[in-house]
Chains A and B, each alone.
Chain A
């Protein structure tokens, strides 16, 4: 067994093209996929609930020139996401839980009131929108965050400009004087203004003397100083706090951080290619070189040969995974205290992919055919395994889970995420991988009867 293993490593070393293909290509691919995955697809589906009463809503919010109408806000939101109408809050939350939509955005009843108060300059509380997200998948969780944050940032920017302008208007009146309509009351009052106060006081200054004049001088100095200083207020107002705040609730799910997820995808893809191609090719090579019959004539049992090939795949995949982690360590920081956990995931994932590779190698007659079969089988499974819930119908998603559960990619991905961060169930996925390893080993062993 030891000699066979050394022999295979030696053959691998003598095949620079194959080695490059098996190691460099998956790493490049994995890194590309890692980055691509962190971008995510366009237009996530988001449920939208409007609790604001229709009458109030139709009035909108008077912000002078631009105005702020809900319709506009809807339009802007729906440019970025696919809006799904929900009747009420409960329905929206259920939709999120079921994975029908990626998130829900709720405008609460008092949203417009709070916002009006803010703009009138009399409100203390930020107007709040409520967001519900299902974060069982970090890609889409971030997607929802991104879209909603972008929309709110834009809305907040426009609103705070309006608020600043409004407040500056008040200040102008305070400094220069004029007519002022009291917010919410609608009454108009005439305001004298600091400048006119100063001038008026200057005018009567000559008529005073002694103590009275001193007091008057103090008031004049104050009015002048106040007027000058308030002129700087516009700069300060630029930093008005965000008038709309987001209150986020995670509905269900247990999310690995995106970095971890991207790393897990990268490792899983790499292991998938390196291990299945290597093991399938190495087994098919025994037939291509006619050595299979010679070996299994008492030199090694068929099961022993399979174990050797699976061992070869597991060793090589662990080595490649370590290289990959080492490279990734340059970009992200890994929690090396968790090494035993993710090492277990890497080894079992490698073994499961190797067992699957051995089954492919038994089915294929030549190295080339085995490589083609390995690609043809593993790629679609990997893509299927990466389909997030909520992007396809529920029944189709259930079918996808069943199909991908029969292959090592999804449990490998989940085990790696669980090993790298404490999200998900590591033990369950390791068990799943162990079962798949045994199942594919048994399949390959049965196939080997017809191999000679």
Chain B
């Protein structure tokens, strides 16, 4: 392939990059629509079991994690605001804080999961098999949805890390920052999904 063949000019369509990203975020929402729909259907059928199971989750950790993610969304937005003003260093700091907060979220999640697993409450665990029918499904969905979300957190952290590298090397700069903007958008999505998961799993009882 020679140079004229690579239509470099096309790669710089800002509005297209944004539109493409929004469409992609839409598909991510679709991905979580499935488990949430299953949740609602099962909740209608086993309301008591769902409430009982939900009260077994640690609300404090859930709440702390919600705050952590909300803050990280703010710092992600601030990183974009900084690059617009050309403040590269500040941008990098904000990205760093965002990624760190993502890490804290995962560490909390890890303790939450291992706590449940230690009690045998996980698909395949001893206690799981003995749970009343609805409660098993609740935890099955809990592990599936938060696990899938956790993978998105990891993906978001990677994307932000890449954006940081691009910023440091000047590829993302004051005039061309759509890559960072899209990374931040993705991070907001990760946040928004959690805002849905949190009340569903932690607050219904």
Chain A partners chain B? no
Residues of A within 8 A of B (CB): none
